[in-house]
Chains A and B, each alone.
Chain A
Amino acid sequence: MLTAATLAIFVAMILAIIRCIAGPTLYDRILAVNMFGTKTVLLISLLGFVMGRPEFLDIAIVYALINFISVIGVLRYSDTSK
């Protein structure tokens, strides 16, 4: 089940990358990058359980915070550059 969930997360990340490359507007790309970051947090947690090393959860916490800060920063720049 852990391997199946990891493969499903991989498929969702590939679909997000496709929308990030082919997105018609800027906000589609930001949305796809945000979804990619959330799926990366889940992937790090799942890989920690697959490899038998749950210490990867610290990296997942830090990645969630960095993803939130980066998306808010890019959106703030986009809002004030009008």
Chain B
Amino acid sequence: MIIIFSGICLLTGSFLCVSGGIGLIRFPDFYTRMHAVGVTDTLGAGFILLGLMLLSTSFLVIAKLVIILLLTLLIGPTTSHVLAKTAMHNGLKPVLNQALNSNTVEKNKETGSSGS
């Protein structure tokens, strides 16, 4: 029974990680890519570590997995916040209108950095 729950958690975490990778490839803008990675990364890592916790028997292994889970939950949102703040502070504008290709992103970056 525990093995079935562990398998469900591992498969959910794997699906979330792969969907984060696909969002990193296919989204048109930096901020939308960061949304895809930052949302699915924390939940995917949490589900996979929860599945490994259900699968393990030793207390020390469960303690180390809890430490890794807490570090991931602390580090992921902090890195996303610092990355978004640095990109906005250095003049990378988000693409707001319907022109969603890479040329628009480059042009917005150039004008933002030269204007600031």
Contacts and interface: CB of A to CB of B under 8 A. Distances in A.
The A contact surface, by secondary structure, is helix
A8 B67 contact: no
Interface of A: 1-2, 4-5, 8-9, 11-16, 18-19, 24-25, 27-28, 30-32, 34-35, 38-39, 41-42, 45-46, 49, 54, 57-58, 60-61, 64-65, 67-68, 71-72, 75, 78-79, 82
Interface residues of B, number: 50
Given A8-B15, A12-B17, A35-B21, 7 more contacts: A27-B30, A30-B83, A38-B45, A42-B45, A45-B52, A61-B64, A79-B90
Interface of B: 6-7, 10-11, 13-15, 17-18, 20-22, 24-25, 30, 33-34, 37, 41, 44-45, 48-49, 51-52, 55-56, 58, 61, 64-65, 67-68, 71-72, 75-76, 78-79, 82-83, 86-87, 89-90, 92, 102, 105-106, 109
